[in-house]
Amino acid sequence: MSEAQQSNGLAQFFEQMTRANQQFVEQWVKASTTAAADPNAAATNPYAQLFSGFWQGASQLGQLQQQLYQQQMQAWQGLSGQTQDAAVPLKDKRFSAPEWEQYPFFSYVRQSYLNTSKWLMDMVDKTQNDEEQKERLRFFTKQFIDAMSPSNFALTNPEVLKLAVDTKGESLVEGMKNMLEDMQKGYITMTDESKFEVGRNMAVTPGTVVFENELFQLIQYTPTTAEVYERPLLVIPPCVNKYYLMDMQPENSLMRYLVSEGYTTFLVSWRSATEDMKHFDWNDYLERGAFKAIEVVKAISGREDINALGFCIGGVILTTALAVLRAKGDNSVTSATYLTSMIDHTDPGQIKVYIDENMLRFREARASEGGLVKGKELATAFSSLRANDLIWNYVVNNYLKGKTPPPFDLLYWNSDGTNLPLPMHTYFLRNMYQENNLTKPGAMTLCGVPVDVRKIDIPSYLFAAQEDHIVPWKSAYLSTQYLSGPQRFVLGASGHIAGTINPVTTNKRNFWVNDQLPASADLWLEGAQSKPGSWWPDYSAWLAGHSGEKVKAPKSAGNRQYKAIEPAPGRYVKMRAE
């Protein structure tokens, strides 16, 4: 590559980064000034209301500005060697490299940024908004603060500059290539995707697709034991991502583990929504999804009763399905398992900052015409909840440093999203998140019958993860106060994914158990016993007690009515959402 080409590449790189930075600031300023100038702006701009109270605390701005001025002066004096830079303690891995301390200028830039960040958050805390709006304002202010970190820009990141010098500019040139490739893909690369392929080294637990319709394929896994439990298990994974989170690689596959424990296991592989599904609603996911899967599993197994497991939103689908079945006097499912799932959405975690009445009304107005919620939109929303780890970390690594992220199966799965039908997704947001109707008997009517989760009186196993930012564990615990049957609640360490996918092969972390189920999650934890390692054996022991006797394992998948269609993992899971 010639010097002229390198120079041109660098110029384009800085132009792209500068333009993105400018657009972000302009959007922030436009939102705040619009709200200040027009109190009715929230009707057309759902973000404008966040700033309606921003300027009402103007009398306090002087004090906050004076504090910021003093802190900035201390940082400047530290740069000139007059005093130590200790206004804001440094506990941020973005600035952990020694270069941030070695060079006074970058030490000042870092401290100035941290001071300003604290000043902005203090100002948010003093706005006149109610607590719900203030919480949203905190979130979006932090989004802005994180985006504007000096670590995110080449000229204010000493690590980036040092690497550029050491590589004679090649790191920035490679970063430019990475950014252009990601712009074409439409998402930030979080892992070396060349190392993974669904069906080759992901989702490889042996099985057979025994049924399919326009909504899902049903996989029957191949037994690995001579005998199996007579009552089969139907697994309903989330439909916002591909199912193979539960069948990642052999050493961390929950499906492989369940099969090895002797359970006849079936799994729903949801299809990423396409245009022909744009009118599908929640009833479709029950009638064409959960109920059809139950019907097929019963027919193949020859059983009138089965066990069922739902993970995340798959657990919500399972809950509504069970409530409908109970209303109709159908006892097909005799035990239920809920993994990181909620019934009560009073406190659904940070994701609620994206859900408000204006947004829902806008989507509901379009829902009658049908449409799709793109998987990329959903993935971006979830990534933004941990923006420094799941967005800006990769911007710096991939674009500024020109590096390729290491292979990581979980992040490969995280980038492999699915589309959802707009009517189904909007119904979910309205009834579960916004109005919490699942907790109100008769507030929802599905498949022609009123829903009452309190009538779900079958044995239930509920698992939650202590650090889950998508399904807070205390919210998951509230399900115990609505379900009527005997229950076992288990709390795992770590987060939404790592807490759930904690294989016995590594036996890491720990989990808590407590046979008592007080009304308070805190009281439950006070009386809980910590146990080391994976929670999977605890679940298997519970499930065995609800799976009947051992019988001879079937020699083949399906039956005369439902014949083998293709080997697992099937076509649907391999389709990439556009």
Residue 90 has a pLDDT of 53
Q: Please say whether the beta carbons of 307 and 264 come within 8 A.
A: no
Task: Determine how β-strand 529-532 pairs with β-strand 510-513.
Answer: antiparallel
Task: Determine how β-strand 487-492 pairs with β-strand 460-465.
Answer: parallel
Residue 170 one-letter amino acid: E
Q: How many helices (H) and strands (E) does the chain have?
A: 20, 17
Contacts of 39 (CB under 8 A, 6+ apart): 52
Locate the domains of the chain by residue range. 207-349+428-574
Is position 239 annotated as part of the catalytic site?
Answer: no
Tokens 């659904």 — which residue?
348
* HSE, side-chain direction, 13 A CA sphere, residue 153: 20
Tokens 């998987």 — which residue?
375
Contacts of 26 (CB under 8 A, 6+ apart): none
Question: Helix H segments across 38-95?
Answer: 58-79
Give the largest Cα separation in the chain, rounded. 85
**How far apart are alpha carbons 351 and 364 in whole angstroms?**
19
Q: How far is CA 293 from CA 46, 316, 365, 481, in A?
A: 39, 16, 32, 28
Task: Give the chain's end-to-end CA distance (angstroms, integer).
Answer: 34
Residue 25 has a pLDDT of 41
- The pair phi, psi for residue 97, each rounded to 5°, is -65, 145
**How far apart are alpha carbons 270 and 285 in whole angstroms?**
10
Q: What radius of gyration do the chain's Cα atoms show?
A: 26
Q: Would you state the torsion angle of the CA atoms of residues 274, 279, 282, 285, taken in this order, to the nearest 10 degrees?
A: -40
**How far apart are alpha carbons 147 and 28 in whole angstroms?**
11
pLDDT tens, the chain, 578 aa long = 455 554 454 445 444 544 444 444 444 444 444 444 444 444 434 344 444 544 444 445 445 444 544 554 555 455 545 444 444 445 788 999 999 988 888 888 888 888 888 888 887 887 777 777 788 888 888 888 898 899 999 989 999 999 999 999 999 999 999 999 988 888 899 999 999 999 999 999 999 999 999 999 999 999 999 999 999 999 999 999 999 999 999 999 999 999 999 999 999 999 999 999 999 999 999 999 999 999 999 999 999 999 999 999 999 999 999 999 999 999 999 999 999 999 999 999 888 888 888 889 999 999 889 999 998 888 888 888 888 888 899 999 999 999 999 999 989 998 898 999 999 999 999 999 999 999 999 999 999 999 999 999 999 999 999 999 999 999 999 999 999 999 999 999 999 999 999 999 888 899 999 999 999 999 999 999 999 999 999 999 999 999 999 999 999 999 999 999 999 999 999 998 87
The CATH fold of domain 207-349+428-574: Rossmann fold (3.40.50)
Q: Is 268 helix (H, G, I), strand (E, B) or coil?
A: strand
Residue 25 one-letter amino acid: V
SS (H, E, C) 230-242: CCCEEEECCCCEC
Q: Please say whether the beta carbons of 464 and 524 come within 8 A.
A: no
Contacts of 262 (CB under 8 A, 6+ apart): 223, 225, 227, 228, 229, 550
Out of 312, 422, 438, 521, which one is annotated catalytic?
A: 312
State the pTM of this model: 0.85
